[in-house]
Structure formats: structure tokens, C-alpha cells
């Protein structure tokens, strides 16, 4: 039976059309099912983004300067806590809240760069593999399969050891994690697009392959690309935190959430807040980004639900 109903959900329609019109002006058909707009995740994401952007203005203390006299103070609401350190201090007397705010910066910068590099490479490979086809396609897809088999984290660790820790190494390492997913999905889209009339028409008009890929294929996979980007922000944030935790991220003293957990876990018995608070921040951010990504996918490209 072709007619299948889905469990009904509250319909909130067109409330965000302005926002949508700004970001994806060319989307025409409205999706069949409109899920509720995830307001709570949007608020959480906004707060964290604002924290990251205005870190120097918002942070009450320096994230790096040590005040050993005030070390391992609990959060302000607990016995022994001081009002000036709202979330307490770590073993070097650094303010946790300030480090958290600056840590958001690192997470988001790394996410932005890695998604641009890794996603961009994946996008390019996906388009070329899907459009050119043949041997190029099968070689590229073999590479993708290989990338899926081997955990990219291993290569990321190797890079950190050979190239040294730093933003560049981290971005390359996380890009290695991303490109294959992007390439595989985008290729699938391109395979379908290749059959469409406007591509045939462009060929008849004598457009070069490069031109067709750039002017006809690329704009049509951008929606999918954006959905993939949102769905992978969480992956990148976790990867960055994991690499930092393992001593392969941005080197100290720059505060990163992963590093904060790593530094705090040894003192979990006496000062739980040092390790647990950054983890709550990561979980909240990743949860929000994932929920937002799910919603965006359902709205823009429900076929990607398999991911």
C-alpha cells in the first residue's frame, strides 16, 4: 500500500521562514512532515556560540593565569566555594568558568575549520567520483571504504606525534575522520543528479565537465552538504575533545574541554567539578547540535535519514 501515515506530530509551520529564506533561499517544496522546531537546542547552541565569540568579554578571569592560593575551590554554591569562582577552580587555581568559556572557542574553531577542510575535500571527491564515474570512481570509493575500516583517530595520534601538537595538526587529523562520510553521501547524490535532464542539456550545449560539476552539480548538492555538516559537528567536537584528552590536541596551557577533563580526572575524589563540568558542557553541546541536525535533515533532506 502506497499510502502510509506517520505518527502525527504538532505542526509548527512557517514560523522560521525568514531564517530559512536567508540560509536556503532555493528550497521549493515544503517537506511532508514538519517536526517541532528544537528551541531548547537552539538556545543552548546560541549561548555556547556567544560564549566562544565574546570570550574575552564574558570570562571573569584569565583562563591561563594561575592563582595557587585559590586552588581546587568548589563551585560557589558549595561549602567552601567563593563567589568570584562560580564553577570553582582547578589544581592550579584557574577559574573553571573562564576556562570553559575559552574552551568553547577552541571547540568551535576546530569544528569550523575541520568541517570546512574535511567536508570540502569530501564534497570535491564525492562530486568527482559521482560525476566522472568509471575507474576514478571505483578507486576513490575503495579509498572511502578503507577510511571507514581504519579508525581515523589512530592516524590523528600519529600525526600529533610526527608533526607535533597544534591547531593545524588537529584540523588535518579530524578532517581525515570526516572526508569519507561526505564523499560517500555526496557521490550518491551526484549519481542521481547525473541522470537529470539539466545535466544532459548542459552537455549538449557543450559545457565542459568541470563547468557542469561547478555550476550544475555543486549547487544541487549544497543542501545535502549542509545537512551533513550539521550532523557531523557533534562528531568533530567529540573527536577534538578525545584527542585533547589523549594529549594530541591543542597543547596546554590553552584551555580545551578535553584537556580539562584529562587534568581533572586524577583528582576526581577531591574535586569532581574540575573533570565533570567540562563533560557536561560537551554533552550538552553535542546533544543540542545532534538534535538540531536531525531536525534540519528531516526538514531539508529526509532521504538522508539512513545516516
Partner 1 sequence: MKRFIARRLMQGVVLLFMVATIVFFLGRLTGNPVDLMLPEDATAEDRAQLTQTLGLDGPLSEQFLIFIGKALHGDLGTSIRMKQPAAQAFFDRLPNTLVLIPWALLLGMMLGIPLGVVAALHRGGWLDRAAGTVAVLGVAMPSFWLGVLLIFVFSVELGWLPSSRMGGPEHYILPVITLGTFLVAGFMRITRSAMLEVMESEFVKLARIKGLSETTVIWKHCLRNALIPVLTLWGVFVGNLITGAIVTETVFAWPGIGRLTYEAVIYRDFPLLQAVIILKSILILGINLGVDILYAYVDPRIRLA
Partner 2 sequence: MSDTPPGDTVLEVRDLHTHFFLRRGVVKAVDGVSFSLKRGEVLGLVGESGCGKSLTALSLMRLLPKGGARTIKGEVLLGGENILQHTPAEMREIRGRRISMVLQDPQTSLNPVFSVGDQLREAIERRRKGASLSEIMKEAVAALRRVEIAAPEQRIGQYPHQMSGGMKQRVVGAIAISGEPEVLIADEPTTALDVTIQLQYLKLLKRLQAENGMAILFITHDFGVVGRMCDRVAVMYAGRIVECGPVKQIFEAPQHPYTRALIASVPKMTGPAGRLTTIEGQPPSLMDLPVGCRFASRCALVEQRCLDAYPRSVRVGDAHTADCWKVSPP
List residues near partner 2 by CB under 8 A.
1, 3-6, 8
Pick between residue 55 and residue 282 the one whose CB is nearest to partner 1.
Answer: 282
Largest Cα–Cα distance of the chain, in whole Å? 77
Pick between residue 69 and residue 305 the one whose CB is nearest to partner 2.
Answer: 305
How many C-beta atoms surround the C-beta of residue 176 within 10 A? 22
Pick what 3 binds: partner 2, partner 1, none; C-beta below 5 to 8 Å, kind-dependent.
Answer: partner 2
Pick what 132 binds: partner 1, partner 2, none; C-beta below 5 to 8 Å, kind-dependent.
Answer: none
**Cα dist from 215 to 21, 107, 137, 186, 249, whole Å:** 21, 33, 20, 16, 38
Closest separation in Å from C-beta 215 to partner 2: 38
Pick between residue 46 and residue 209 the one whose CB is nearest to partner 1.
Answer: 46
Binding site for partner 1 (CB under 8 A): 4, 6-7, 146, 148-151, 153-155, 157-164, 234, 238, 241-242, 245-248, 258, 261-262, 264-265, 268-269, 272, 275-276, 278-279, 282-283, 286-287, 290-291, 305-306
Closest separation in Å from C-beta 167 to partner 1: 16
Pick between residue 1 and residue 22 the one whose CB is nearest to partner 2.
Answer: 1
**Cα dist from 22 to 25, 27, 35, 182, 227, whole Å:** 6, 11, 20, 24, 16
**Ramachandran area for residue 80 (φ above 0: left; ψ -120 to 50: alpha; else beta):** left
Q: Of 212, 287, 299, 217, which Cα lies nearest the Cα of 37? A: 299
How many C-beta atoms surround the C-beta of residue 244 within 10 A? 28
Instruction: Please tell me what DSSP assigns to residue 61.
Output: S
Closest separation in Å from C-beta 119 to partner 1: 19
Pick between residue 202 and residue 291 the one whose CB is nearest to partner 1.
Answer: 291
Instruction: Please tell me what DSSP assigns to residue 303.
Output: G
Q: Of 60, 56, 114, 151, which Cα lies nearest the Cα of 250? A: 114
Pick what 24 binds: partner 2, partner 1, none; C-beta below 5 to 8 Å, kind-dependent.
Answer: none
Closest separation in Å from C-beta 8 to partner 2: 6
**Is 69 buried (19+), middle (13-18) or exposed (0-12) by CB count in 10 A?**
exposed
Closest separation in Å from C-beta 10 to partner 2: 11
Pick what 5 binds: partner 1, partner 2, none; C-beta below 5 to 8 Å, kind-dependent.
Answer: partner 2
E strands, 155-301, where? none
Pick between residue 31 and residue 253 the one whose CB is nearest to partner 2.
Answer: 31
Closest separation in Å from C-beta 305 to partner 2: 17
Amino acid at each position: 500500500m502506497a499510502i502510509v501515515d506517520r505518527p502525527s506530530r504538532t505542526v509548527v509551520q512557517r514560523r522560521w521562514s525568514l531564517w530559512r529564506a536567508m540560509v536556503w533561499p532555493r528550497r521549493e517544496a515544503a517537506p511532508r512532515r514538519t517536526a517541532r522546531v528544537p528551541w531548547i537546542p537552539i538556545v543552548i547552541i546560541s549561548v555556547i556560540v556567544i560564549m566562544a565569540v565574546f570570550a574575552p568579554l564574558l570570562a571573569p578571569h584569565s583562563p591561563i593565569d594561575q592563582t595557587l592560593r585559590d586552588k581546587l575551590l568548589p563551585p560557589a554554591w558549595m561549602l567552601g566555594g567563593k563567589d568570584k569562582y562560580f564553577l570553582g577552580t582547578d589544581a592550579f587555581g584557574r577559574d573553571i568558568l573562564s576556562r570553559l568559556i575559552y574552551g568553547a572557542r577552541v571547540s568551535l574553531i576546530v569544528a569550523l575549520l575541520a568541517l570546512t577542510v574535511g567536508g570540502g575535500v569530501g564534497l570535491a571527491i564525492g562530486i568527482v567520483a559521482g560525476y566522472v564515474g568509471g575507474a576514478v570512481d571505483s578507486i576513490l570509493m575503495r579509498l572511502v571504504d578503507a577510511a571507514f575500516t581504519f579508525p581515523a583517530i589512530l592516524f590523528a595520534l600519529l600525526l600529533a606525534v610526527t608533526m607535533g601538537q597544534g591547531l593545524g595538526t588537529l584540523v588535518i587529523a579530524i578532517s581525515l575522520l570526516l572526508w569519507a562520510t561526505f564523499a560517500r553521501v555526496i557521490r550518491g547524490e551526484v549519481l542521481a543528479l547525473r541522470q537529470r535532464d539539466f545535466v544532459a542539456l548542459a552537455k549538449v550545449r557543450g559545457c565542459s565537465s568541470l563547468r557542469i560539476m561547478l555550476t550544475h552539480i555543486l549547487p544541487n548538492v549544497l543542501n545535502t552538504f549542509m545537512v551533513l555538516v550539521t550532523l557531523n559537528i557533534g562528531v568533530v567536537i567529540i573527536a577534538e575533545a578525545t584527542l585533547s584528552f589523549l594529549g594530541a590536541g591543542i597543547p596546554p596551557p590553552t584551555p580545551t574541554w578535553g584537556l580539562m577533563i584529562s587534568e581533572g580526572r586524577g583528582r576526581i575524589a577531591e574535586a569532581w567539578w574540575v573533570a565533570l563540568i567540562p563533560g557536561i558542557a560537551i554533552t550538552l553541546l553535542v546533544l543540542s547540535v545532534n538534535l538540531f541536525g536531525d531536525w534540519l535533515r528531516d526538514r531539508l533532506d529526509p532521504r538522508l535519514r539512513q545516516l
